[in-house]
Amino acid sequence: MNENIIYRGAEAEIVLSDYLGKKVVQKRRVSKSYRIKEIDSHLISSRTRGEAKLISEARKSGVSVPILYDVDLQKGILTLEYLDGKRIKDIINDLDESSRKKICIKIGESIAKLHNCDIIHGDITTSNMILLDDRVHFIDFGLGGKCDEIEARGVDLHVLMEAFESTHSKYPQCFEYVLEGYKKKYCSNANAVINKVDDIVKRGRYR
């Protein structure tokens, strides 16, 4: 099949491609001409490795993510399952209240499962979630990492809170539903994380 660039960002291109007869998505990290070649190669390789590891660990934690078919560290390419579903961003405003609540609770449960394993997604927005087979799949762990601090968990949730406020402002209860799901599955003190989100909001206000 002909390759088709479906997204071009500062750090990577997302390309619709073919792999062993399967329709796939390839995330190809972009080389930066302003960086020293050796440093550029090292950064591309380490970031590709790091993201691949996070995707694998997220799957083990019970969170739905695309299947990782191949990792090319030298070229900085991740070959991933093509998820023929719908972005949460594109559908959540059009759902009835009951369906919207159900999806938001699932989102919260998945974030808790990630956080239980010290996985910080780094860019939790409704653009980085795909609904397929009644499951919310998380994509793009490029800004993610491992961290056991409450602050990092709070920041992760705060990013999603802001995404809801900017993109789905008609439905302010969405984030409350997310927190409901989060409390169900988070193994430690969920209220401590939620209080941290409130702290981050206050910090932003008084800056």
Encode pLDDT of 54-95 as tens digits. Answer: 999 999 999 999 999 999 999 999 999 999 999 999 999 999
User: Per-residue confidence at 205, pLDDT binned at 50, 70, 90?
Assistant: low
Structure confidence at residue 169 (pLDDT) = 87
Any idea which fold 4-81 has? Phosphorylase Kinase; domain 1 (3.30.200)
pTM of the full predicted structure? 0.93
Catalytic position from the list 94, 123, 133, 148: 123
Residues 7-27: tens digit of each pLDDT: 888 889 999 999 999 999 999
Catalytic residue check, 123: yes
Structure confidence at residue 2 (pLDDT) = 67
Structure confidence at residue 207 (pLDDT) = 46
- pLDDT, mean of residues 161-177: 93
Q: Is it the case that residue 206 has pLDDT exceeding 60?
A: no
- Backbone φ and ψ of 152, nearest 5°: -65, -40
Structure confidence at residue 1 (pLDDT) = 57
Structure confidence at residue 3 (pLDDT) = 80
| Level-2 CATH architecture, domain 86-205 | Orthogonal Bundle (1.10)
Residues 115-135: tens digit of each pLDDT: 999 999 999 999 999 999 999
Question: Would you kindly state where each structural domain of the chain is located, as residue ranges?
Answer: 4-81, 86-205
